[in-house]
Chains A and B, each alone.
Chain A
Amino acid sequence: MEDSLKIWTEKYRPNKFSEVYGHKKIVKKVKAFVEKGNMPHLLLAGPAGIGKTTLSLVIAKELFGDNWRSNFLETNASDERGIDVIRNKIKDFARTKAVDTNLPKIIYLDECDSLTKEAQQALRRTMETYSGTARFVLSCNYSSKLIDPIQSRCAVFRFKPLLKEDIAELVDSIASAENLKVTDDAREALFDVSGGDVRRVVNTMQSCSVVGDTIDKEAVYEVNNFVKPKDLDIVLLMAIDGKFVEAREKLLKIMLNNGLSGMDIIKQIQSEILRLDLESEVKLKMIEKCGETEFRLVEGSDEFIQLEAMLASFGLFKK
């Protein structure tokens, strides 16, 4: 067994159109394209963990069978988002014809919204030039971040988070395959914490299974609490309490441990503030400071100093 298959997200990744959970309409149309052997470029848009990558892998597997690996190029735009990737790696792959078939190769570009504008311009030309030998499947969270010429060259499919019954179906099939018991409220909880994100459901189930054969509600919440600790809340509350030194220490720790940039932090802080249990006036003032800090982050050079200034300002809002 392949190593990665021990991770359930790979083990239970669908290999055929018929195995895909949810997205019935989209799957039907894409399947029709594949069966006719004439597929346009595709743009798959939607939130994380709902099957965009899976669908493109399925397309490749259904088109090329066992040969799919040699006719399928997977590139992650957020790891390699420069223009060089488009000019070298993708062009090199697109230049030659597919192995053992007359079908065009498939190039899957994940997280396209993080491609630079220049790279997108380069991509646009590449899509046209090599349309004889290759088809592009692009995926992104927000299609608005792609330049119009690219959007207009693709058939666009918008993915929505999976429905409750789809998630339930998935949970049950994994549970029976792995000999797990899932309580009814755990099933609810899985849908609740995942918000329709399949990857999260599967990862949570595997993490729970490590502890015991029965998955209950508590286990589900515990796993996901651990995964997304409310650390930033604590930082904010410490800052408001005037415990500046502790707050900044903790903030630096969070940033370093999770490899977060100042901008990542400010985005999270902004949404955390809205959720804090404080008077509206205080929250409003904090939001204002947060915005000012974001501006200074962009304009400044040392992100941490700007964040410290923000924490210091929060200390003034206590009564």
Chain B
Amino acid sequence: MKPWCEKYKAESIEDLAVDPSSLKKLMEIIDAKGVALIHGPTGSGKTSAIEMIAKEKDFELIEMNASDFRDSENIRRVIGGSLQQQSLFKRKKLILIDELNGISGREDRGGLLFLNKLLGKNKFPVIMTAEDPFTKKLAATRKKSKVIEFNAVETGRIVTVLKKVCEGENVPYEEDDLKTIARRVGGDIRGAINDLQVHSILGKIELAEEAEDNEREREGTILDALRLVFKSRKWENVSGVYNNLKEDHKEIMLWLEQNIPAEYSDEELYNAYMSLSKADIFNRRIMRWQHWRYLVYVYNLLSYGVAFSKKDNKKGFVPYKRSDRPLKIWLNNMKTMKRKSICDKLAGKMHSSKKGFVKKHLPYLKLMARNGRLPDLGLSPEEVEWLTK
């Protein structure tokens, strides 16, 4: 038996829950044998739209997705050839390169480069999809293609589809329940159908009050994670504690950095910061060698490392604070704009480098300004005021 989301896949172009104007653009490009780059969130119907068009217009669909190796050699083999040759029985071809974001820098070396070379020479339409087309990596590809956006599917449309599924499966439904399901998935139509299947497994739709276990990717909060790491010394509690956070490892580090002293002191404090320090070194190594596996160790150090810096479990409620370091740095940058403009004006006149000026002249100027006797140096009133601060 097929899962519902397969079973109730759209059967014609009209059935697709995709914005008609986007669809129209896509069709035009396919007819013109052009190159399109479709982007949009998960489940917005990027791939199904293309599959549907291929089916209806009787194209031979040649697809490469993230599960294929996509280095230059493989792209040449799969797509390069078919771009120029006629297919058997002279069927028209449609080339789909799915999930461009998934082309890896390491394993798929040269893949994008080779692909970019092919674009523009294609004799058949080439459609690519990407969740985020605006990364630097895809800049060249983006330039060679028409970019089409697929919006998240509207809640109303999802509800319509869900109704159809319910009717097909003989599931009694309340419209409100379907709306709730639709709203929770954030435009992911495939997810909505899957959710419906889960919630109606007992013959009728049963929704819990709030988001719960069987919802996908339930986002945890950083505060819960910090609490586990700081309070507990149980291996199981701490493992995978950062898995479902929207914060990345750098942000998690900032949170930890800010809040360690609130929980730990002395030896514990030192141990915890040592873990952070080591994690930071791995961060740099990741950047330098582009060896992302090191990230595992970063997370291990940030979870187990910090958790086992202490000897006993911690009790009591501690309100955790967001790191104010980025804010301070930003504020300071605003402030240093003035310093910079003063430097730019005066450093040259004093035959000094900017750095040298800050060290060797600026303190004295400040002192004179503070005593209200700064010589007139052609500075703006704001700059003079900055000096007195």
Please report B residues at the A interface, Cβ cutoff 8 Å.
250, 253, 257, 261, 265-267, 269-270, 272-274, 276-277, 280-281, 283-285, 287, 325, 328-329, 332, 336, 339, 346-356, 358, 360-361, 363-365, 367-368, 371, 373, 375-378
Contact A199–B261 (Cβ < 8 Å) = no
The contact sample of 19 A-B pairs, CB cut-off 8 A, is A4-B350, A7-B377, A48-B360, A78-B355, A79-B347, A203-B361, A207-B364, A207-B367, A210-B373, A223-B364, A223-B367, A256-B329, A300-B280, A301-B283, A302-B253, A305-B277, A308-B276, A309-B273, A313-B273
Q: How far is the CA of A309 from the CA of B305 in the complex (A)?
A: 14
Contacts of A4 in B (CB 8 A): 346, 349-350, 377
Q: Which of B261, B277, B349, B350 contacts A300 (CB 8 A)?
A: B277
Please report A residues at the B interface, Cβ cutoff 8 Å.
2-4, 6-7, 9-10, 13, 48-49, 53, 57, 74, 76-79, 110-111, 199-200, 203-204, 206-207, 210-211, 223, 226-228, 242, 244-245, 252, 256-259, 296, 299-302, 304-306, 308-309, 312-313, 315-316
Contact B360–A199 (Cβ < 8 Å) = yes
Contact B356–A305 (Cβ < 8 Å) = no
Q: How far is the CA of A259 from the CA of B276 in the complex (A)?
A: 24
Please name the 5 residue pairs, one residue from A and one from B, whose CB atoms are nearest each other, closest first: A6-B375, A4-B349, A309-B277, A76-B353, A301-B284
Q: Which of B253, B274, B349, B373 contacts A309 (CB 8 A)?
A: B274
Contact B358–A252 (Cβ < 8 Å) = no
Contact B281–A300 (Cβ < 8 Å) = yes
A interface SS class = helix
Min C-beta distance of B248 to chain A, whole Å: 13
Q: How far is the CA of A294 from the CA of B285 in the complex (A)?
A: 16
Q: How far is the CA of A110 from the CA of B356 in the complex (A)?
A: 11
Q: How far is the CA of A245 from the CA of B284 in the complex (A)?
A: 26
Q: Which of B283, B355, B365, B376 contacts A79 (CB 8 A)?
A: B355
Contact A301–B353 (Cβ < 8 Å) = no
Min C-beta distance of A313 to chain B, whole Å: 5
Min C-beta distance of A218 to chain B, whole Å: 15
Q: How many A-B residue pairs have CB under 8 A?
A: 140
Contacts of A256 in B (CB 8 A): 328-329, 332
Q: How far is the CA of A9 from the CA of B357 in the complex (A)?
A: 12
Contacts of B269 in A (CB 8 A): 244, 312, 315
Chain B residue with the shortest CB-CB distance to A11? B375
Q: How far is the CA of A211 from the CA of B20 in the complex (A)?
A: 77
Contacts of B356 in A (CB 8 A): 48, 76, 78, 111
Contact B266–A242 (Cβ < 8 Å) = yes
Min C-beta distance of A243 to chain B, whole Å: 10
Q: A4-B377, A245-B261 are in contact. Are A316 and B328 (CB under 8 A)?
A: no
Q: How far is the CA of A259 from the CA of B359 in the complex (A)?
A: 10
Q: How far is the CA of A227 from the CA of B363 in the complex (A)?
A: 6
Q: A3-B376, A6-B376, A306-B277 are in contact. Are A301 and B287 (CB under 8 A)?
A: yes
Q: Which of B361, B363, B367, B377 contacts A3 (CB 8 A)?
A: B377
Chain B residue with the shortest CB-CB distance to A56? B351
Q: Which of A110, A252, A296 contacts B328 (CB 8 A)?
A: A252
Contacts of B358 in A (CB 8 A): 258-259
Which among B276, B287, B371 has the highest number of chain A CB atoms within 10 Å?
B276
Q: How far is the CA of A84 from the CA of B334 in the complex (A)?
A: 29
Min C-beta distance of B363 to chain A, whole Å: 4
Q: Which of B250, B336, B368 contacts A259 (CB 8 A)?
A: B336
Min C-beta distance of B250 to chain A, whole Å: 8
Q: How far is the CA of A14 from the CA of B144 in the complex (A)?
A: 62
Chain A residue with the shortest CB-CB distance to B331? A256
Which among B269, B284, B355 has the highest number of chain A CB atoms within 10 Å?
B269
